[in-house]
Amino acid sequence: MRRDLYNSDHELYRDTVRNFFQRDVVPHYEDWERGRIIDRGVYPLAARHGIFGLEIPEAYGGSGVADYRYRMIVCEESARVFTTSFNVTLGLFDDVVLRYLLELTTEEQKQRWLPGLASGERICAMAMTEPAAGSDLRGIRTTARRDGDAWILNGSKTFISCGTCADMVIVAARTGSGRSDFSLLVVEEGMEGFVRGRKLDKVGLHSQDTAELFFENVRVPAGNVIGDVGSGLSHMMFNLPRERLSVAAQSYTSARSIYEVTRSYASTRFAFGKPLVDQQHIRFVLAEIATELDVAEAYLDRSVSALDAASLTPVDAAKGKWYASELYKRTVDRCVQIFGGYGYMVESPVARAFIDSRASTIYAGTTEIMKEIIGRDLPDREVDGGEAAVASERA
């Protein structure tokens, strides 16, 4: 898998990651899926082996390694043993939540929060989505008003990953009258008025807990605001390239692993006196998948290098996100068909991927939103009405 992307240090890290998954994740994963929750005891183990919070600086208990290729290895090794829910959770923390805590916090906030996260003893979630505001962040209705040395927070959030187990939650709230006037507040376990709703029963990704959250006059200290007051929307936008690359990486690596297990199955499963792979239609389907995966891999490699060079644009990340997630969904569907009845049995990794893959085209921005972002960046076209029409298209 993708050996040309890595050097010897990465491959040593791969051995550590592979051993961790085999020892500390695979034996428990089915229990987690049945129980609809990941055992919190695994996070300190992951942190100890540099698999959780790798980029947290050494001063706060982490390793301080900022090289996305290490995250790619975690994605690959998780996909190899089909532990998708756990990988999505790691991606949520390392590629989403941690970015805000590293980039937007003060030294005092870092000292207060990062050591517990670096050790895996504390879990942090991100709460943006609301019942009436999904991809459209400007539709957020949760509010926070200043009251002396605190903010009074009211509202609700839904589809919040790690919402039931998080010790702290970064909440996006409207703090002014402007359409884009938002701020980010950290709500911590035990704050009065912070209520966790039901754990949502999802189609797939069962052990990756997702919940509703409610805030009823929660008094959030002013020292728990991260970034600049009123700049929450721009703060939320800055991390989108990495968040979308994360989904692309998870989607690609999962699709690749499902393809590999399906190719192996097609070589050993007989029909009409010969292996499935010797049936021309099956061979052609596998050839199509192999080609699409190689093309996606090349784009993903380029995106990883761009991210590490701080040059990955939101548009390029959007391209990778929608294409890889749709490829994942499409690949799994074709692989289920090749497996036949066995592909519909829940114990089959292909069946599990069938239900886990569907959300990848929705979270971190739907496929349609990704295409809208890309479309707005297309070169100007000559249309009737001249500049006014072009301006209208961009609005």
Alpha-carbon span 146 to 196, nearest angstrom: 23
- AA identity, residue 312: L
- Find the angle CA(118)-CA(92)-CA(238) to the nearest 5 degrees: 95
Which of 177, 169, 185 is CA-nearest to residue 232?
A: 185
Q: How far apart are CA 42 and CA 25, in angstroms?
A: 8
Rounded to whole angstroms, the Cα distance separating 327 from 73 reads 20
Q: Catalytic annotation on 243?
A: yes
Neighbours of 333 (CB within 10 A): 15
Report which DSSP code applies to 126.
E
How far apart CA 85 and CA 91 sit, in angstroms, is 10
Pair type for strands 168-174 and 210-221: unpaired
User: Strand, coil or helix: what is 60?
Assistant: helix
> In the Cβ-directed half-sphere of 175, how many Cα atoms lie within 13 Å?
22
Stated as kind and residue range, the H or E segment containing 158 is strand 150-161
**Given the residues 58, 243, 297, 368, the one annotated as active site:** 243
Provide the residue type at 89 as one letter: T
DSSP helix, strand, coil percent of the chain (3-state; round to 5): 55, 15, 30
Catalytic residues: 243
